Amino acid sequence: GIQVEQSPPDLILQEGANSTLRCNFSDSVNNLQWFHQNPWGQLINLFYIPSGTKQNGRLSATTVATERYSLLYISSSQTTDSGVYFCAVGSGTSYGKLTFGQGTILTVHP
């Protein structure tokens, strides 16, 4: 099956700093989502981005499908950005069967 690798595994920032999270995948995909998992376990949708670039406030994401990677940018980080960020991909006719990466644990200090 498809492999998903996220980097870095852990990231510690001071409030106000910018960061880039990376997601590499081993095969072509037609579904890619970024999630933020809050301390209670809820997965919050950030982006549905199988290709191209999107922005939502301080967050933006870019997927380069031909090179099999996606990037999540967080600018002017806030303490509330802390948590685990997951990239998940799907491919073929089973595009809804998401394969998740191991996640990036982000800690933002005041």
Partner 1 sequence: DTGVSQNPRHKITKRGQNVTFRCDPISEHNRLYWYRQTLGQGPEFLTYFQNEAQLEKSRLLSDRFSAERPKGSFSTLEIQRTEQGDSAMYLCASSLVGEEFFGPGTRLTVL
Q: What is the binding site for partner 1 (CB under 8 A)?
A: 4, 31, 33, 35, 40-43, 45, 48, 50, 86, 88, 94-103
Rounded least distance, CB 61 to partner 1, Å:
13
Rounded least distance, CB 74 to partner 1, Å:
19
Residue 77 or 86: the one with the smaller Cβ distance to partner 1 is 86
Residue 60 or 103: the one with the smaller Cβ distance to partner 1 is 103
As given in the structure block, the two tokens for residue 101 are 């990466």
Rounded least distance, CB 16 to partner 1, Å:
29
Cβ-based neighbour number of residue 90 at 10 Å: 18
